[in-house]
Every structure is written in structure tokens, then in C-alpha cells.
Amino acid sequence: MLTNKTIIVGVTGGIAAYKACELVSRLKKLNADVWVVMTAAATKLVGPITLRTLSGNPVVTDLFADELSTLPVPHIALAQKADIIIIAPCTANIIGKIANGIADDALTTIVMASPAQKLIAPAMNAEMWRNPAVKKNVSWLESRDFVFIGPEEGKLACGSEDIGVMSKPRAIVKEATRLLPGSKTASAADLTGKKVLITAGGTREAIDPVRFIGNRSSGKMGYALAEAARQRGAEVTLVSGSTHLAAPEGITVIKVEDAKSMHEAVIANRAGQHIIIMAAAVADYRPTITFWQKLKKESETIKLELSKTVDILADLGRLKNGTYLVGFAAETNDHVENAKAKMSEKNLDLIIVNDASAIEQDSSEIKIIDKHGNVDEHPEQAKHQSANKILDKILSQIT
């Protein structure tokens, strides 16, 4: 039951707006105090009177309406009263406004003024969902503790079968219940007491003092995992190679340069870790000789001899003593087959495989493979969402 819980349901202008009626009814059946806030576009798709009747409270459609005049500063009072704000459906436009600090209507103002947990259920055309600007906004919001549910694959308003459908009201209610303060299964708690070591970013193998061999890794996946694990209560150590990302708060970050220093940092910090996740893109080869002075442009061609680096993950697999070991595989072909081979060669408990094209992107399509050969396929989603799916899977295996 949701007795004594104040829930704001934000409804924005997507075709799925009618599904907000079912969402509100379900929340009311659980005894929540539900307040609906609609954007102007949403009122064209579903009637405020319907939502007022279902919620039993005035529907907020603009900041200056008389309906809420019993409250001193209505939108602030509502924003502060809320235990959770659910926006369902949420359009690309509203995601963009919230991510960029624009508060030009009742809903965006309330969201900005509220310290409550926010749960966003996007619904939009598939190409809009894949648009880099939307992806960037979703990623940014996820890194600021906004939780996203969906969108799912299904039949879209434009007729095509693709990603973009709003999650089912029942699933949204379930997720909201999980997130509510005081909930037994609040996501903030399920990794409490666990020590997690995560590697991220690419390594740089020095050729001389100014040049190196590197790779395109952005560190986004590893940082998303570190952030998500911290949010879920874990004690996180992040061994980070090169990245432009800012160090997440509340995490011990060890900066390293090359495969050798990453290996040393991981080995030095591995004792007592319950889970180790190698998300870093570690160079497989380094220059056999590192020149201590800058190489001069003298001959027409130069030859660079490369030697294998240590395989950190394989080393961890050999030393494994109760730690749950997770690897990544970035493949261009035979994804599952190659990943399974890596899992057995490196003695892993879990491996996540994605296409090599996901490198540098904000989102990815991942497959999570466990030791028993089960393959969980996840459609393209923001790396923060993938991170939580990976942590869910790990938790299901260790508890």
C-alpha cells in the first residue's frame, strides 16, 4: 500500500498520455495521495477532468490557476510535499527541458523545485529516442539520480515496430514503489555492504614523452557502473584510465595511465572486493621500448615493435578466491561465441558483450552471459540503464 505517500504524476504531450489514467487509478487503488500536473500539450490528448476525477485532487495545468490557491505558494508546496514525481509519458521535449534547467511551465517548475525522487517513463518515436541530443540528456539526468523506466519495444503511434513505447502502468507503479523512501527494496540499498572494484576508460601506452598508443574508449560504461553501484549502496573503487569524465562523488578513484599501472592498481586493491568488473579497454600491446626523449622526425619510416601487455582480467581469473568476476567483450563479429570463449579462458562469472561500435556512445545494446550459458539480451539503452541491468544480474547471481 502507498498510504501517506504523496505522488505527483506529470503527464506530457505524447499519444501515450491516455495511459496516465490507468497509472493514476492504480496509484489511487494503493491509497496514494495523487496530484496530476499536465503540460499544455497533454491537455489536448487527455482531459484534465478525467484525471481530476481519477486522482480526487485538482489537476495542475498552469502555475497561476486558482484551483490550488489554498496552498501558500502552490507549486513549491506541492513540489516539497511529494515523495516521488513520476512523469509518464515523458516526451523528448520535457526530458530536454529538465536536463537543461528550463522551467517554463508548471511541470518543469515543480520538477526543478522538488527534492523528491524522479521516475521518468519516456514515450516517443524511435528516431527521437535515438537522437544524440536525447541520449545525452537522458544520460545526464541518470547521472543525477533520475531513474528511467523504458521505453519498450512495440507498436508505435507511427505504425512501426520499434523502441519508444511507454512502459506499462503496472511496471511503472512497481518501480515507483521500489524507489519510494522507506521501501524495503529501494534501489539505494541492495548493494549495501558490498565492495566493488570497477575499471574504466582506455589505457595509454607511451611511445615517448608526448606520444602514446591509445584507443577510443570514453569510460562511459565503467563510470556509469561505478555511479550506479554507489547509488545502490556499494563501497566503490574505480580504477580509471583515460577519460574526459568527471570523477563521481562518493567513490575512491585511482587514476592510471597504462596497462601496467592499471594491473598494479587492480592487484593492490583486489583483496576484500566482493565484485570486480573490468570495463576498461586495456591495450593488448605496448611499445617494447619507450623513448625517454621525444622522437625526432628524421627517417622516412620508422618501425615500432610492440609487446603483449599483461591480461589483467585473466590474471584476476587465476587468482580468484571468492570474488565475483565480470568482464566485457567488445566484438565486431560472432559476439556471443567470442564472449563465451573469453569467459571460459579468463575464468569469469559473467561477461557483457556489445558491438565494438558502442565505444564512445552514450547508449549500447548489450548481451549479458552467465556461467551457465544463459544469454540476456537488452535492447539499445543508455549506459546508465545498462549499468543497472548488469548490477541486477550480478545481484541475482550472488544472493
For the CA atoms of the chain, what is the radius of gyration? 24
Nearer to ligand CTP, 147 or 394 (CB): 394
CB of 78 or CB of 391, closer to ligand CTP = 391
Q: How far is the CB of 315 from ligand CTP (least distance, A)?
A: 8
Sign of the four-CA dihedral 120, 102, 246, 364? positive
CB of 395 to ligand CTP, least distance (A): 19
| Three-point CA angle 208, 211, 213, nearest 5° | 105
Minimum CB–partner distance for residue 188 and ligand CTP (Å): 27
For position 177 contacting ligand CTP by CB under 6 A, the verdict is: no
257 binds ligand CTP (CB under 6 A): no
Residue 172, CB half-sphere, CA atoms under 13 Å: how many? 34
Q: Which of 282, 358, 391, 394 binds ligand CTP (CB under 6 A)?
A: 282
d(CA 238, CA 247): 9
3-state secondary structure of 256: coil
Nearer to ligand CTP, 97 or 270 (CB): 270
Local structure of residue 332 (DSSP, 8 states): S
115-154: contacts with ligand CTP (CB under 6 A): none
Q: Which stretch binds ligand CTP (CB under 6 A): 55-63, 125-133, 170-178, 307-315?
A: 307-315
Annotated catalytic residue: which of 157, 158, 304, 375?
158
Taking the complex as a whole, the smallest distance from the CB of residue 178 to ligand CTP amounts, in Å, to 30
Based on the shown chain and the rule CB under 6 A, indicate whether residue 196 belongs to the binding site for ligand CTP. Answer: no
| Residue span binding ligand CTP (CB under 6 A) among the ranges 132-140, 141-149, 218-226, 274-282 | 274-282
What is the identity of the amino acid at 313?
Answer: L
- Let me know: does 240 contact 204? Beta carbons within 8 Å: no
Q: How far is CA 128 from the centre of its chain?
A: 18
Q: Are 200 and 226 in contact (CB under 8 A)?
A: yes
Of 137-145, 172-180, 276-284, 379-387, the window that binds ligand CTP (rule: CB under 6 A) is 276-284
For position 280 contacting ligand CTP by CB under 6 A, the verdict is yes
As given in the structure block, the three cell numbers for residue 292 are 625517454
Q: Which residue has the cell 490557491?
A: 69
Q: Residue by residue, what is the 3-state secondary structure of 281-327?
A: ECCCEEECCCCCCCCCCCCCCCCCCEEECCCHHHHHHHHCCCCEEEE
Is 21 a catalytic site residue?
A: no
Minimum distance from residue 369 beta carbon to ligand CTP (Å): 13
The interface region with ligand CTP, picked from 7-15, 43-51, 304-312, 387-395 by CB under 6 A, is: 304-312
User: Is 312 one of the binding residues for ligand CTP (CB under 6 A)?
Assistant: yes
Rounded Cα–Cα distance for residues 174 and 169 (Å): 9
Helix axes 19-29, 48-55, angle to 10 degrees: 10
Determine contact, residues 34/181, Cβ cutoff 8 Å.
no
Pairing of strands 33-38, 117-122: unpaired
Q: Which is nearer to ligand CTP, 234 or 259 (CB)?
A: 259
Binding-residue pattern over the window 313 to 352 for ligand CTP, x denoting contact by CB under 6 A: x-------------xxxx-----------x----------
Minimum CB–partner distance for residue 252 and ligand CTP (Å): 19
Query: Would you tell me which residues interact with ligand CTP (CB under 6 A)?
Result: 259, 278, 280, 282, 284, 309, 311-313, 327-330, 342
Active-site positions read 158
